[in-house]
Amino acid sequence: MKSMKRRRGYPHTSDIMEAIMEVLAKEVYVRPDQFYDKVKAKLEDKGFNTSYMTVKRVWRAYEEMVRKGRIYDVLDVVEQCNAEHDYESG
C-alpha cells in the first residue's frame, strides 16, 4: 500500500504565524524582500496549499505578532504607533 502525503489545505493565520516563527528562528538574517517566499516555502514543505496566500496576509500576520509582543521586529518594518501626535491646535 502506498503512503501518500496528505495535503493540509489552505493555511490558517496560526499556521502562517508558526511558519514565520520557524523562518525567523532558522535564519540569522532574512531580507524583507525574501521573507514572503521563505514563509511560503516553509508552509509548502508542511503540505499546505499556498496558491491563494497573499503577500499582504503574511505581512499582516507578522505585524500582528510584533504588535502583540510575540516576536521582536527583526525585519524593522513595523511602524510604531504613538499615542502622542505632532498636531498643532488652532
What SS3 state is found at 77? coil
- The answer to whether residue 61 sits within a structural domain is yes
- Category of 6 on φ-ψ map: left (φ > 0), alpha (ψ -120 to 50) or beta: beta
- Measured CA to CA in angstroms, residue 69 lies from 9, 31, 63, 73 at distances of 29, 21, 10, 9
C-alpha cell at 44: 509548502
If one counts the domains in the chain, the total is: 1
Predicted TM-score (pTM) of the model is 0.79
- pLDDT category at 78 given cuts 50, 70, 90 is confident
- The answer to whether residue 11 sits within a structural domain is no
Domain that holds residue 55: 29-72
pLDDT tens, 4-62? Answer: 555 579 999 999 999 999 999 998 889 999 999 999 999 999 999 999 999 999 999 99
CB atoms within 10 A of CB 38: 19
**Residues written for the chain:** 90
How far is the first Cα of the chain from the last one, in angstroms, to the nearest whole number?
78
